[in-house]
Chain A
Amino acid sequence: MKSHSLLSSLNPSTEPDTLASHERAEIDASTRFPVLLFFGSAIFWLVVGSVLGLISAWKMTHPSLLDGAAWLTFGRLRPAHLNAVIYGWASAAGIGVGIWLMARLCRVVLLHSKLLITAAVFWNLGVLVGILGILAGDSRSIEWLEFPGYATPILFVAYAFISIWTIIMFRYRRPGHVYVSQWYLFAAFLWFPWLYATANILLIWQPIQGSAQGAVNWWFAHNVLGLWFTPIGLASAYYMIPKVIGRPIHSYYLSILGFWSLALFYSWNGMHHLIGGPFPAWMVSASVVASIMMFIPVITVAINHHMTMRGHFEALKWSPTLRFTVFGAMTYTLVSLQGSSMAIPSWNTFIHFTDHTIGHAHLGLYGFFTMIMFGAMYYIIPRLVGWEWPSATMIRWHFWLAATGILLMVGSLTIGGILQGLAFYDPIATFRTSLEYATPFRIVRGISGFVLLAAHVIFAILFTQMILKIGQKREGPALFAKAETKEAVTV
Chain B
Amino acid sequence: MNKLPLIFLGVFLTFASSWIGLVAYPYLSLGKMQPLPDEETGGYLPPAQSGLAVAGQKAYAANGCVYCHSQQVRLAPLSTDIAKGLGPRQTVARDYIREQPAFLGTMRTGPDLSNIGVRQPDANWHHKHLYEPKTVTDWSVMPSFRYLYKMQKIQGQPSDDAVKGLSGPHAPAPGYEVVPTEEAKALVAYLISLKRNFPLPESPEPPAK
Contacts and interface: CB of A to CB of B under 8 A. Distances in A.
B111 interface: yes
Contacts of A341: none
Nearest to B78: A276
A64 B22 contact: no
Contact of B7 (A142, A183, A278, A358): A183
A278 B14 contact: no
Interface stretch (B99-107, B121-129, B153-161): B99-107
A177 B74 CA distance: 51
Interface residues of B, number: 75
Contacts of B108: 353-354, 424, 434
A278 B89 CA distance: 12
Contacts of B91: 278
A277 B30 contact: no
Contacts of A61: 141
B7 A138 contact: no
A283 B106 CA distance: 17
Interface stretch (B37-45, B142-150, B171-179): B142-150
Given A141-B64, A349-B77, A67 B144 contact: yes
Interface string A280-308: 10010011000000000000000000000
Contacts of A13: 1-2
Main secondary structure of the interface of B (DSSP, over half): loop
Contacts of A354: 107-108
Interface in A188-203: 190-191, 194, 198, 202-203
Given A141-B103, A207-B100, A425-B80, A212 B21 contact: no
The residue among B10, B21, B83, B146 with the most chain A CB atoms within 10 A of its own CB is: B21
Given A137-B63, A267-B17, A276 B7 contact: no
A218 to B, nearest CB: 8
B62 A137 contact: yes
Contact of A186 (B4, B62, B63): B4
A79 B106 CA distance: 13
Contact of B107 (A68, A140, A207, A353): A353
B60 interface: yes
Contacts of B109: 60, 438
Contacts of B67: 74-75, 78-79, 141
Contacts of A70: 63, 147-148
The residue among B7, B65, B144 with the most chain A CB atoms within 10 A of its own CB is: B7
A353 B84 CA distance: 15
Contact of B21 (A75, A198, A214, A283): A283
Contacts of B27: 202, 208, 212, 216
B66 to A, nearest CB: 5
Interface of B: 1-2, 4, 7-8, 10-12, 14-15, 17-19, 21-23, 25-27, 29-33, 60-68, 70, 72, 74-75, 77-80, 83-84, 90-109, 111, 133, 139-148
Ranked 4 nearest A-B pairs via Cβ: A75-B64, A276-B74, A267-B18, A212-B31
12 contacts: A67-B144, A74-B64, A137-B62, A202-B23, A208-B27, A219-B23, A276-B75, A276-B78, A277-B72, A278-B72, A278-B92, A352-B78
Given A213-B101, A438-B109, 17 more contacts: A13-B1, A75-B68, A76-B62, A78-B67, A140-B61, A141-B66, A142-B101, A178-B1, A186-B7, A190-B8, A211-B104, A216-B27, A219-B22, A264-B17, A353-B107, A354-B107, A425-B79
